[in-house]
Structure 1
Amino acid sequence: MLLEVATDNAEAISFYLGHGFKIVVFIKGYYYGIKDAYVMGRILGSKRVSIHG
């Protein structure tokens, strides 16, 4: 899973890092050519779902 987050959004970055995301790449001027962003990613694991309740 990938997402973008503004580099000045420390609260969101901290949240995503705490949930297993890593910074993948830096994009200068991503938001309206002004604000920079990080692309963050996490590999999602599959969970077994029981059909027997």
Structure 2
Amino acid sequence: SIQKEHGKLLKDFNKGLVNNKEIEALKADVEQFSGSFEMPGFLMSEMKYKD
């Protein structure tokens, strides 16, 4: 795990996140999944800029 490799301090943990293939894959999966939902409270049909 990242914490075992880099330590428990937040600054060390954050260094372990940089260029981590598993974290990048997880981020891509989450972004793809969350992109399928609309933002609560906003209707796309009522938005001025739909891009």
Q: What is the TM-score when the length of structure 1 is the normalising length?
A: 0.26
Which of the pair has the greater relative contact order for Cα pairs under 8 Å at 6+ separation? 1
Q: Which structure has the larger Rg over C-alpha atoms?
A: 2
Larger % of strand: which?
1
